[in-house]
Amino acid sequence: MSTHIGASKGEIAEKVLLPGDPLRAKYIAENFLTDINRYNEIRNCFGYTGLYKGERVSVQATGMGIPSISIYVNELIQEYDVQTLIRVGTAGGMGSDVHIRDVVLGQAASTDSSIVTNTFGPGVNFAPIADYGLLSQAAKIAEAEGMKWHVGNVLGEDRFYNDELDKQKLIDYGILATEMESPALYLLAAKFHRRALAILTISNHLVTGEETTAEERQTSFNDMINLALQVN
């Protein structure tokens, strides 16, 4: 086991879905996987391994924010040799063409966090990006299945409540949605030469005020889950 994950070696699959919400991890395991085993209960960040159409897949809750997901991604890679990490989470819509329940594929992850500066120093603004193979697969599947989907740049914020955020400028520069984890996922995947993708569902819209309920955020949004399970 690692510091925050109670699994033994071999209990976690090479491919892991990463919801922030522990109850979404439970929902995914119980509704999409068979032969499930819960390998982690530490801090109630539940982790499960099961089968999806015969393929071994794990689901690990990460909690909210860049610091929290960084813990789990580091340990999944360094202690359990995970190769493919797919975030399945919610995001706030920003673009005019983006609506609640739409799926957004995070091609890149801009951020107001200091995580990039702390990693490279003030002279380099490294651009955390998704794995192209996962991204292109997800786009093809989303299109083939008639999902309402978008691909582009997302913003990973350090703060949930951010009155200083210049929403319109970000929209003008093509930011589709805002969330709180993807920059860390992509940065760590680059560091350890692993594959990563953020598949997000729009749960609310920062401009129009549209929103979904807490229960919907926990137990629906099945398009992104199906998409994440199908890409390899």
Q: Annotation-wise, does 87 bind a ligand?
A: yes
State how far the Cα of 184 lies from the Cα of 231, in Å rounded to an integer. Answer: 21
Q: Which SS3 state, helix, strand or coil, does residue 97 take?
A: coil
Contact 105, 130 (CB under 8 A): yes
Beta-carbon count within 10 A of 195 CB = 19
217 is in an annotated binding site: no
Q: Do the annotations mark residue 195 as ligand-binding?
A: no
> Residue 89, annotated ligand binder?
yes
- CA proximity to 24, closest of 46, 54, 51: 46
203 is in an annotated binding site: yes
Residues in the chain, total? 232
40 is in an annotated binding site: no
Residue 31 assigned to a binding site:
no
The sign of the dihedral angle between the CA atoms of 198, 162, 202, 143 is: negative
Please give the Cα distance from 72 to 213 (Å, whole number): 27
99 is in an annotated binding site: no
Residues 24/88, Cβ–Cβ less than 8 Å:
yes
Q: Of 122, 120, 150, which is closest to residue 138 (Cα–Cα)?
A: 150
- At 50 the three-state DSSP class reads strand
56 is in an annotated binding site: no
Q: Is residue 90 a known part of a binding site? A: yes
Query: Which helix (DSSP H) or strand (DSSP E) does residue 104 occupy?
Result: strand 103-111
8 is in an annotated binding site: no
Please work out, in degrees rounded to the nearest 5, the angle formed at the alpha carbon of residue 113 by the alpha carbons of 91 and 120.
130
Residues comprising the binding site? 4, 20, 24, 43, 87-90, 179-181, 203-204
Residues comprising the binding site for phosphate? 20, 24, 43, 87-90
Residues comprising the binding site for a purine D-ribonucleoside? 4, 179-181, 203-204
